Amino acid sequence: RDIPANVTVVCTDAPTAEVDAAAPGSYFLVMTHSHALDQELAEAILGRSDFAYFGLIGSVSKRRSFEKRMENRGVPPARFGAMTCPIGVSGISGKEPAAIAIAVAAEVLQARERRSATAAAPAQARRA
């Protein structure tokens, strides 16, 4: 398969180490095969304060159970607002993998656009 030049494939047995090594302003999407691994990654991501976006695949009930467990493990509840779960733009009812992928990609693009607009606003104000 051809991998785009701006994509780095990382195979690891220590995904939380990759979270720790990610650059400030990173976008995190957690969509693994394991709720336990999702939980571990969520805690590692919320331990940072410098990411641009963090989305976790799952339902509202998954979010609630993760929040309860994280609070019991010492994650401040104030951090939970930095986690988007469920993920994907609203209004997409399809549950097929392709529909979910498109809805999630659209949400990440929206987050990127908001971040770009926020960063550009101070520069525009200085020029005015």
Alpha carbon of residue 45 to chain centroid = 8
Q: Is residue 126 part of a domain?
A: no
* Residue 76, both tokens: 């401040």
Question: Which pTM does this prediction carry?
Answer: 0.85
Backbone angles phi, psi at 84, to 5 degrees: -100, 115
Both 77 and 107 in a single domain?
no
Q: Is residue 128 part of a domain?
A: no
Taking each helix axis from N to C end, the angle separating 35-46 and 60-72, rounded to the nearest 10 degrees, works out to 60
* Residue 86, both tokens: 């469920």
Q: What is the pLDDT of residues 46-102, one digit of tens each?
A: 999 999 999 999 999 999 999 999 999 999 999 999 999 999 999 988 889 999 999
Q: What is the pLDDT of residues 9-40, one digit of tens each?
A: 889 999 999 999 999 999 999 999 999 999 99
- Beta carbons of 52 and 27 less than 8 angstroms apart: yes
Both 72 and 34 in a single domain?
yes
